[in-house]
Structure formats: C-alpha cells, structure tokens
Structure 1
Amino acid sequence: MPRPSRRQFLGMTATVPLAATGALTLGAGTAHAADSAYVMGYFTESPDMLAANYGLHLAVSTDGLNWTPLNQNNPVVTPTAGAGGLRDPFILRKQNGTFVVLATDLKGTDWTYNSQYIHVWDSTDLRSFTGYRRLKLHDMVTHSWAPEAYWDASRGQYGVIYSSVNSSGHNVIMVNYTGDFVTASAPQVFFDPGYDVIDGDLAIGVNGVNYLYYKRNSTLVGARSTSLNPGSFTPFSTPVSHGGTEAPTLVKSLTSGSTWYLWGDTWSPNGVFYAWQSNDLAAGTWTALDQKTYTQPLNSKHLTIHPITTTEYTNLLTKWGTPTWNRLKSYNFPARYVRHADYVGRIDPYAFDPYTDSLWKLVPGLADGAGVSFQSVSHPTRYLRHYSYAVRLDENDGTPAFAGDATFYRTAGLADSAWSSFRSYNNPTRYLRHTNYVLRIDPVSTATERQDATFRVGY
C-alpha cells in the first residue's frame, strides 16, 4: 500500500478469541511436507487503470517464478461488504489443512477510506469460497492494510498482522489473535521501530528464527526474532528496492532447501514485480534475479504466494482453466513484451495500456497448420505479418500471400532452447526478431541476433 497520512488514534475494544484446532504446525512462509507447487493471490491494476479489478485473482506455478493466471485472469471471488473490493489478499493454510483468505477492505485508491475490518473467506481447496465475512480488528479511526496471518504455536492461536496508525502517529505493524477468524483479541503493536512501516510478511521457524519483512521508505527491510512476541523483532537486513518498492513476500523454494525468494511490488499502478534471491536468510542480503527467470501474472498487484500440493495444483487448473491467450517476453530485454502500437509490431516495457495489445492467440498457421499465426486479442481480425520484412498488424484479407506472411514455424529458442524462436514460412532463412525495439524478419547469425529472435511464450 502507498505511504499514508497520519491518522487520529482512538481507543480499542476486543472480543474474546476461540482456541485453534488441528494438528499441523504451519506458519506463513512454511511449506507442507507434500507441497510441490504454488498458488498466488492478487488484484489487478494497470497504468491507465484499464485492468483495475478489486476481486481475488489466482495464479499457479510449479517453480514459484513463472505463473499461469486462472479464470482468464478474472477474479474468482469479490467482496460484497465494506468498500465492495479488496486489495492485498493473503492465503494461509490453516491447522486443519483448509485455507483462509484475508484481504484489505478497500476498493480502488481512496487512501482516505478507513476500515477497522478486513475481508475473510474460508476455502477447502481454493476452488470454492465460503463463510464470507469481515473481521473487526480495532476501533481506531484508521486503516487495516495488508493483513497476513500465521500460526503461533506458543499461544495456540493465529496471529493476524496488518498495517495501521497507532498513538505514535506513524504506521506500525499491529497484531490481533484469533482462533476462528470470526472474532479477534484486542490489537497490540507487533512491530514499531520508531518510523513508518507497512506491509509485514513473516517467515516462521527458519533454523529457530522468525523473519519479518516490511516496507520502509520504498525499500524492503527485514527484522528477526527468536520468538513471535509483540515487540521482539529487531531490524537487521540490508534494504533492497527497485524504484518505489513495497509488499514484500518471502517464498521458500520447494526444490532447494536453502533458497529463498523475496518478491516486491512497485507501488504505482504500473504494478511491476521484482524478485531477489538468498541462500541464507540469516545473512539479510539479497541478489536481484534476472527478469528472464520470472514472469508475473498480467496486471497483478500486491501478491501472496503459498505452497500447495500437486493435486491442488491440478484441481485448480481443472476448475478455473488456463488463459486462451499468451504473452511473448523478449529474451535480451526481459522487461519488454511483444505488442502492437499503431498497428506496428514492437517490444515495449511492461506494464502499459491498453494491456490487451500484448495478448496473442497462437493459432494454427494460416498457410500451414503445422506453423503458428499470431492473432491479436484486441483486434481479432488482425494478425502479425511481415511486409517488406517489417512486421505489422494487418487485417486478414484471405489471400495466400497474407497467409504466408502471417505464418511462422515455432522452433527451439536460438539463444536458449527452453525459449522459442519463430521462422518465417515464406522466407525460411529469416526469423522474427526485434531491432531498436521494432519487430521484423531477418537472417540470424550473430549472438545478438539470436537473442533478438528469442522469446518466452507464457502468460
């Protein structure tokens, strides 16, 4: 969430929490023994807000780096109370193996809207959502931003942390305790280093230490504690950022025991995620990942990532389906995606509007079904084709010449065989590539040309 103004502090009231049940001992950032994939939750915005949607969106991944949006990148559930929208969703597997979803009660960007509540859903499998309600956290005239939850074994309850302004006059991380996410204890200050902090995210029980990452001055910073007691966390890490960065999310690799990823979100509506890697959380230092290695879901904002089983991964894909469109990421300019602008094919930095200009249906080749043609989602009667070797978006006139110009053979990537390259059907010595960010077809021989002609087909 963006940095807020100061709010007036009022008194707090409480209700009595219930005891937690279940046998598992999970916390935020902790994987279940059977987990082999990941689910992500998010909402959507874009630079001109054409993608603004404040319902819960889901995506899945097998590596935690490249994501498949579900339900055509449409929401799977939307709040009906409070502001009628959500931001900052969070997914937690509870002690009984089912899930709870929490989210900020806020639709859009009206930062003056104050809610003492957060949205809550229950779900057995993230395919259906029941028991929708709002959980009251405090009586202050301020917000309850970016809620997250964790299991506190010492208390036998869940802690719910969130960003709010207390009597100090700046944002701190608060905590309430609950056994059922229906009622909660009185709020306490969980973390207040003496300056404005928001967007807390926990990794619990890593070699006996708990880690709390948060946003401070548009950077992501970590604190740590050997307990989960309020007030016990001490800042320690080297800040990381890429421009104005917020919404830290810690993710443990399911395939490498020591590898952790830290995701961060730019706070503007552009909604660009960046990722860092560490092989030692205790060191508090992070290395930025090459953007070739990860791809965020289209227009996604303020993510939550939680491990899931192979069965849950498969069932989510079966329930919600994969997108009917693709995006093409440039290999040597991985911040850029293939799009059309004024009917010219080019690669431009994500994110942009209209975002649908970067969505393509890879259909059987118009001249040869063994090849592919790129049908525009935003202009479905138009296809990418070459004309005098320049690539543009033209109406399909039904002629054999157009069909040939608009057909390509997909091959292993010339710069990386895990990626893809596209050889022209009717100019078979030439490949689709970019030069000065504009698409064309050219013969390819040098290392740079091979990189220019290599793309990742994803979402």
Structure 2
Amino acid sequence: MSVLLSRLVATVVAVGLLFTTQALTTPQRAAAADPGYLMVHFIGEGATGQQMYLSHSTDGLHWNDLNGGGMVLRSTVGTRGVRDPALVRSPGGDKYWIIATDLCIGCGQSWDDAQNNGSRNLVVWESTDLVTWSQPWLLNVAGAIPDGRNAWAPEAIWDPETNDYVLYWATNATLNGVLKHRIYYARTTDFRTITTPRLYIDRPGTQGIIDTQIIETPSGVGNYRYVRASGDGQITLEGSNSILGTWTELGNLSGIGLTGSQVEGPMWMKFNGRNEWALYLDQYATGGGYMPVLTTDPSRPGAYRKQASGSYDMGGTKKRHGWILNLTAAEESRVLARWPNTAINRLQSYNYQDRYVRHTNFDVRIDPNVSPAQDAQFRLRPGLAGSGTVSFESVNFPGYFLRHADFDFQLARNDGTSQFAQDATFRQVAGLADSTWSSFQSYTYPDRYIRHYAYQLRLDPITTATGRSDATFRVTG
C-alpha cells in the first residue's frame, strides 16, 4: 500500500473514531469552534516557580497570564514541585490529565541529585472539565528501568492503532555501559497504571536526549503522519507514519541559528484554521523563556523561520517548558471564568491590627508577621454557592478555600460538592464594629459570622461588643 493511500485510510479511520492525539491538530474542529489557546507551564525555580501556571492567547503569539500570573495548581506529593507539564485531552473530550516532572530544584534538591537520585515518579492531575482538578497522584514510571535514576519531561499521545496512550519521558540510566538520558515509553489508558517501560529513543555514543514532543500532521502536509522535535544537542526533527514505528531523521534547526546549547523544551502549536505551526523553544541558556519559530511544514527544517521580537508577547511571567491546547469555545469559556485576574488581598483584624488571617498546616488563625507572606494572601472569588457572595481562595494553595466544619475553620480543597460550596461561601457586609470595615456572614448560618477567638478562626453568633470587634476585618492588599 502506498504511503499516500495509507495516510488517507488512517485519516478516515481517525475521523470515525474521533480520536485526539494532542493539543495541536485533534480533535479536528472548525476554526470558529477553536477560538483560542491554553498554555500550561512553570515559570522558574524554587517552590513557587515550579508549580502549574496557565496562560491564554487568542492568536497563538500574544499570551496573557491567567489568575493574575499566580499558580493554578500546586503539587502536594513527591518533591512538592513540578516542571515540564503536558496537558492531555481524551479522545471524547470528556477527560483531561496534566502529567509533569516531579522535581523541585532549590527546594533541598540539587541538579546532581535530580539526575542521579531523583524521583522515579511523574505527578498526575485529572479533570472532567479543565477547571476542577483532582488531588495529584504519583505514577512510578522509572522504577522498573534497570539503574533508572529519574523521570523527566513526560509527554503523551493517543495511538489510534491500539486505542491507548503512548506515555514517554526521559530517564537517566546505564545501558550497554553508558550512563545518559534516553527516552522510554509505556502504554496507559488512565495514567494510573502502565505497561512495562521500554526504550523509545536512544542517540549514538554518549549523546543524551531529554525533551521530545510529537505532533500529528494532516494529510497533504509533508511526507509523514507524525513529526517529533527533540533536544539532543540540537533541536532534531524526525518523521514517521506510526508512533512506535521507524523514525527518519529530517535535520535540525541549526540552519536558523538554534541549537540544543541555546534552546530546549520544544512545544508545538498548530494555528487554528490554517496549516501553519509554531514550535516554541525555551531559551534556557540566556534565561529568556519561550520564543516561537513558525513553519508551514513541520517535517522540513528549511521551512522554519524565526520571529522578530516584537511580533510575539509571552506575557508577564517567564514561560518554561510546557504544552499548548487548542481550546473549544466551551473550554475557553470555562477556563477564563475560573481564572480571571482577581486581585490578591489580606484580611486584617480590627482589634489586633498587626494580625492577619492566615493558614498554617491547613488550620486558620490570625497572626502577626506572617511567613511565608503567601499564607495570608487570598483571592476573593465570586461565592461558590450563590451570587452576591464571596469565597476565599488561597494564593499559594490554589483550589483550596477557607471553609468551616463544625464551625471551626480550615483551608480545604474544593471537592466540588454542594456542602463544600455552602460552607465556603459568605456575604460581605458592613463591619459589625466599624461600618467602614467588613464582616462576613455565613451563607448557611446567617446568624453566624467569621470571627477570631483566642486567635483561631471560628464561625459564631455575635452578641457582644467583643464579638463584634472579633468579627470585623479590613480587606487590604
């Protein structure tokens, strides 16, 4: 069967299955149904920078930070830091996963530690709507690899030949007497269990390879169904007609002055409505973050062209190795509504004005000199349970809200239940002790207000002058 005929048959099968490989070309939808793009990424080193952030673009070249540039997901497992995320949409569009490197440089772990005795796990989140995410879990992918020392830069692509995902990542391991990073793969349907890992990509000699991302190209573009870009000393391009089949080296981007010593973290994006792609590359050598190079044929190295610095805008935060999803209209509406650029505020006590509401080990109290400062920072979101109300979302534990349980306060993850929504929703009213300040009335118990007692936050009925002072706060920056 000719290559062209093979690709036509595969295309017909793909349409019938409505499969999704990744953000770039599938699901195939009309341009009007794909209004924008969502990037998931990290922004730098340290416990705060190595978390999950989102940015949005309407044209694929000019990006706006969502959530005011703040994190949207925080890892509470493994090293408690995450890098190099991939955002995977299920074939039916009814489930999503974020898979990321379990790594926190500068959080008690050095680069040498990370390479030679790092986490063998990936961090995974799951969602059914792209805005409410599960608790993260660890997926051990490198533990079964002989001398496997870490697991970095995961990616996944739907394989229509076997109706599952090919999950692939880099592991530093000794093979044939050579210790270096190679790409391994396993199959999965749920990112909870995987098949036995196998070697996927190896380079000759001591040359390692870490970052690889695959796209599917439509029929009529180039000579290959799949193209992958890899960081292996160059930004190497390869083509294949099967994800796990034979791959042909096509060349690299050194012809436009981009080598693996300058850039890493290749991240593909297909422009909506036309056969044009951006390959985003992380300028790690200069600390410059991502830059796009554009092409009308991902399989032809000579077709790539750099963009002038003024032709794109990466937004307020530095974008580091991530993934871009072409959004549907419904997805975009949900995402933009969930993470608007809401201001960051603190709640100052009226009668102890050096103290602020803060969380510590998920308990809630008022304290002076809060450290880290983010423990006392919240975004006042529209109330989870009703209009005209507010809910308090933690800045450094996004998705976690102040809620009462048996009238005691805690910082807890929103579990999506109506009970949680009601317990985390309040009416902001004039301050009970000073009308220029604020008090917060319970949504479910209107005779009770947020107040501190022995510096702990409680939900109590207020009947005395002391109680009115304890239940009065200033919303301040």
TM-score bracket for this pair, using the shorter chain length: 0.5 to 0.7
Q: How does 1:148-163 map to 2 (within 5 A)?
A: 148-163=155-170
Helix, strand or coil at the partner of 2:327: strand
Task: From the two aligned structures, give the one with the greater helix fraction.
Answer: 2
Structure 1 runs of 4+ off > 4 angstroms? 49-52
Q: Aligned partner of 1:90: which letter?
A: A
Q: Aligned partner of 1:137: which letter?
A: V
Is 2:249 the partner of 1:235?
yes
> Is 1:70–1:323's contact at 8 Å kept on the other side of the alignment?
no
Structure 2 counterpart of 1:31: 26
> Is 1:271–1:301's contact at 8 Å kept on the other side of the alignment?
no
Helix, strand or coil at the partner of 2:39: strand
C-alpha distance in structure 1 between counterparts of 2:216 and 2:202, whole Å: 19
C-alpha distance in structure 2 between counterparts of 1:79 and 1:269, whole Å: 27
Q: How does 1:58-457 map to 2 (within 5 A)?
A: 58-97=54-93, 98-108=95-105, 110-111=110-111, 112-113=113-114, 114-139=118-143, 140=145, 141-166=148-173, 167=175, 168-194=178-204, 195-207=207-219, 208-217=224-233, 219-229=234-244, 232-240=246-254, 241=258, 244-256=262-274, 258-268=275-285, 270-285=287-302, 286-297=304-315, 298-322=317-341
C-alpha distance in structure 2 between counterparts of 1:50 and 1:235, whole Å: 37
Out of 176-185 and 298-307, give the one that drifted further.
Answer: 298-307
Deviation sequence 1:405-443 (CA, Å, 0-9, x none) = xxxxxxxxxxxxxxxxxxxxxxxxxxxxxxxxxxxxxxx
Out of 208-217 and 77-86, give the one that drifted further.
Answer: 208-217
Helix, strand or coil at the partner of 2:338: helix
Q: Aligned partner of 1:295: which letter?
A: D
> Is 1:200–1:214's contact at 8 Å kept on the other side of the alignment?
yes
Count, aligned residues: 298
Q: What's the TM-score, normalizing by structure 2? A: 0.59
C-alpha distance in structure 2 between counterparts of 1:66 and 1:127, whole Å: 22
> Is 2:142–2:171's contact at 8 Å kept on the other side of the alignment?
no
> Is 1:163–1:197's contact at 8 Å kept on the other side of the alignment?
yes
Q: Aligned partner of 1:155: which letter?
A: T
C-alpha distance in structure 1 between counterparts of 2:307 and 2:217, whole Å: 25
RMSD of the TM alignment (CA)?
2.3
Deviation sequence 1:243-263 (CA, Å, 0-9, x none) = 61000011111032x211110
- Percent identity between the aligned chains? 25
Deviation sequence 1:47-67 (CA, Å, 0-9, x none) = xx6895221101111111111
What runs of 5+ residues in structure 1 fail to find an aligned partner? 1-21, 326-459
The alpha-carbon distance between structure 1 residues 191 and 102, as it changes in their structure 2 partners (threshold 3 A), is same
Deviation sequence 1:244-290 (CA, Å, 0-9, x none) = 1000011111032x211110002258242121111112322311011
C-alpha distance in structure 1 between counterparts of 2:34 and 2:159, whole Å: 21
C-alpha distance in structure 2 between counterparts of 1:274 and 1:253, whole Å: 15
Greater relative contact order structure (CA < 8 Å, 6+ sep): 1
> Is 1:151–1:159's contact at 8 Å kept on the other side of the alignment?
yes
> Is 2:47–2:80's contact at 8 Å kept on the other side of the alignment?
no
What runs of 5+ residues in structure 2 fail to find an aligned partner? 1-15, 345-477
C-alpha distance in structure 2 between counterparts of 1:76 and 1:269, whole Å: 26
C-alpha distance in structure 2 between counterparts of 1:84 and 1:105, whole Å: 7
The alpha-carbon distance between structure 1 residues 103 and 137, as it changes in their structure 2 partners (threshold 3 A), is same
Q: Aligned partner of 1:86: which letter?
A: V
Q: Aligned partner of 2:183: which letter?
A: I
Cα displacement (A) at 1:104: 0.2
